[in-house]
Amino acid sequence: MGGYKVWSKRIGQASASGRWPVVLLHGGPGVPSDYLEPLERLAESGREVILYDQLGCGRSDHPDDPALLQVNRFVEELASLRKALSLETIHLYGQSWGGMLALEVALSDAQGVNSLILSNAPSSMPLWVEETARLRQELPVEVRIRLDQHENANTTDSEEYQEAMMVFYRRHVCRLDQWPDCLMRSFSSMEADPRVYRAMCGKSEFNVTGSLRDWDRSDRLHLIQQPTLVISGQYDEATPKVAGALHQGIAHSEWELMADCSHLCHLEQTERYLERVNTFLDKVESNQPAPC
């Protein structure tokens, strides 16, 4: 698209007609798709799985042009990918920012998007910021002090600030004692080139100053017609208030609140997560009219 190359990967193939491909949208923005690797196992249920790295991160091109880092361009990017791979009818999965992007795609009246899976995603960035600020206030006092000191001094790249952020991450992003290699690869890649994250989000979870700062689609959720599965974790930074607002706004939605999980439920409880997603996909496909 626009002369830039976007990396993609296809896994599996349909075992029968009516088994639609699942397209995976990663989060960040700017965190490449490696950490979604466990979801490649959705192909074991007889559906093709497609993942890709959005422009500016991972194995895709990294143009030095902030004007490209706009929500509409990422909607167009997915449309171009679908056309190139002949993906006429799909299930669309989005995790975190990927869920925000999936909402944008659905609200753009894209054809052939027959279901949505919105995992750990908000419908309103102002609500997200409000809730992460509340979670921050629950951190130990000494951690909050370090965060404040470095944010005030504009030293958020310092090791001490990152260590303080890790306290938040281990509570609300990934609660596993040992983070899997796929997650570490994604984070390492983003740290090597954080331009997308900083342009669209900001310097940290708590300082949303980028182009998504005022993003809010809560007043348009009623327009979404696709059957939708909302997934979130008990300790998620996409808190029950955030996920609940998404679920309540979409008429044809189900909500799975996963106990003992945070923002990366698919890594923390992979088997249970895959089972829930496959159950939803089976239900959606079984409710489609039989071909003539």
Q: Which of 91, 247, 263, 266 is catalytic?
A: 263
User: How far, in Å, CA of 175 to CA of 164, rounded?
Assistant: 15
109 is catalytic: no
Please tell me the distance from the alpha carbon of residue 172 to that of residue 265, in angstroms, as a whole number: 11
Please confirm, yes or no, whether 119 is among the known catalytic residues. Answer: no
What residues contact 259, with CB distance under 8 A and at least 6 apart?
234
The answer to whether residues 230 and 96 touch, using CB atoms and an 8 Å cutoff, is no
Contact residues for 200 (Cβ-Cβ < 8 A; gap 6+): 28, 29, 30, 69, 97, 210, 211, 212
Closest C-alpha among 231, 267, 262, 236 to residue 34: 267
Catalytic residue among 236, 253, 262, 266: 236
Q: Find, among 87, 119, 82, 88, the residue nearest to 101 by Cα.
A: 119
One of 33, 60, 96, 124 is an active-site residue; which one?
96
Q: What share of the chain is helix, strand, coil (3-state, %, to 5)?
A: 45, 15, 40
Residue 2 φ/ψ, nearest 5 degrees: 60, 20
Q: Encoding tokens for residue 241? A: 């208030």
Chain centre distance of CA 15: 27
Q: What gap in Å lies between CA 15 and CA 278, rounded to an integer? A: 14
Instruction: Look up 263 and say whether it is catalytic.
Output: yes
Q: Which residues are catalytic?
A: 96, 236, 263
